[in-house]
Amino acid sequence: MEQTSIDRELEQAIDPWLEHMRWRSDFKNWREERIWQENKQQAKLATLETFLRLADKSIDAPASIPNLSGLKVLDLGCGMGGLSVALALRGATVTPFDFNPAYCHITQLRGDRYGLRLNPVNGAGEKLPFPADYFDVVMCMDVLEHVQKPESLLSEVSRTLQAGGLLYLTAINRLAFDDPHYHVKGVNWLPRGLAKGYLQLVGRSKDNSRFKDNQTLEAMHYFRYGELSKLAARHNFKKVFEYGEVNLNQPTTKPSLAKKKETSGLKEQAVQLLRATKLLGPVYQLYRNFYKGTYQLALIKS
């Protein structure tokens, strides 16, 4: 595919924000995915479809990619704009929003690829510049752990959502075995003071001298699952659905999507055994509370 001037400008804008990940053995492919991030949103869109049905939002008949026409969506913490563009291409009226002005610029460029007028808004999630009861859906992906005041953010999201509106929120488990940001196993099972030294020992501590948003582990907000439910209830979210639990009685990941077909087969056998012995629910709850990395949650406003 011939590279356009917008593509070149987009790459030049993105590359400086990827430098701290050059330790990855798959950096070249990983970078390409960041450049074409809008093409990697199928799983999030499918999860959104599931959550929209739980929220009784009107969308087309079941499909792998929903038609989102008519929905006003706030992409809170839009990052480099991949999700905003994917949502807009599915028909949603999207407002990208991010604290980092460079990310807003990247999102604008990504939208320009497709002739989309996204008009990203720069600001802090704790003080959203939108009227009350305005949005049908708020997407808040990989954001809650980074803001200064998570509770203020949830309060603002609740204010700007319509009654019955959906917040699709991701949050990091305080006891996540494999840390989603540092990609170091076991670090969250340590006290934060020891975790800092451990990250330095294995060479994964982040250099804050270059990027002001390159947060250290102790500066981020991770949550136990029970904490999240209580936090949601304090801000008028009457229902909380966790994606893993919603799919507990559904087939496990299809082999074609798994890293290895053999692994998928063994996982399916284990699930079937646990289901037969009625231990699937309790075992999953243990996994969710003490091992799982990222929670995907649907919060429905009352």
Based on the domain organization, do 229 and 280 belong to the same domain? no
Based on the domain organization, do 268 and 158 belong to the same domain? no
Q: How many helices and strands (H and E) does the chain possess?
A: 11, 7
Pick the residue with more confidence: 137 or 3? 137
pLDDT confidence of 250, banded at 50, 70, 90?
A: low
pLDDT at residue 58, as a whole number: 53
Q: Residue 281: pLDDT above 80?
A: yes
Helix (H) or strand (E) holding 159: helix 150-160
**Residues facing residue 95 across a β-bridge:** 74
Based on the domain organization, do 48 and 175 belong to the same domain? yes
Which tens digits make up the pLDDT trace of 84-110? Answer: 999 999 999 999 999 999 999 999 999
Pick the residue with more confidence: 66 or 7? 7
Based on the domain organization, do 164 and 266 belong to the same domain? no
Q: What percent of the chain has pLDDT over 90?
A: 71
Q: What is the rounded average pLDDT of the residues 174-188?
A: 94
Pick the residue with more confidence: 185 or 266? 185
Based on the domain organization, do 181 and 214 belong to the same domain? yes
125: domain CATH number?
A: 3.40.50.150
pLDDT confidence of 271, banded at 50, 70, 90?
A: confident
Q: CA 72: distance to chain centroid?
A: 19
Based on the domain organization, do 269 and 240 belong to the same domain? no
The span from the CA of 182 to the CA of 202, in Å, is 10
Q: Which two tokens stand for residue 290?
A: 């003490």
pLDDT at residue 28, as a whole number: 95
Max CA separation in the chain (angstroms): 59
Based on the domain organization, do 61 and 98 belong to the same domain? yes
Domain count, the chain: 2
Based on the domain organization, do 271 and 296 belong to the same domain? no
Among 35-44, 197-206, 231-240, name the one with the lowest average pLDDT: 197-206
pLDDT at residue 102, as a whole number: 97
Pick the residue with more confidence: 240 or 270? 240
Based on the domain organization, do 110 and 204 belong to the same domain? yes
pLDDT at residue 259, as a whole number: 44
The span from the CA of 251 to the CA of 272, in Å, is 9
Based on the domain organization, do 295 and 283 belong to the same domain? no
Give the CA distances from residue 160 to residues 18, 68, 149, 156, in Å, rounded to whole numbers and listed in that order.
Answer: 32, 19, 17, 6
pLDDT at residue 207, as a whole number: 56
pLDDT at residue 57, as a whole number: 61
The span from the CA of 222 to the CA of 238, in Å, is 22
Q: Among residues 90, 89, 84, 92, which one has the least CA distance to residue 109?
A: 84
Based on the domain organization, do 236 and 223 belong to the same domain? yes
What single-letter amino acid sits at 128? Answer: L
Based on the domain organization, do 202 and 241 belong to the same domain? yes
Q: Residue 20: pLDDT above 80?
A: yes
pLDDT at residue 208, as a whole number: 47
Q: Across the chain, what does the average pLDDT equal?
A: 88
Q: Residue 73: pLDDT above 50?
A: yes
CB-based contacts of 4-8 (< 8 A; 24+ apart in sequence): 4/113, 6/109, 6/112, 6/113, 7/113
Give the domain extent around 275: 255-287
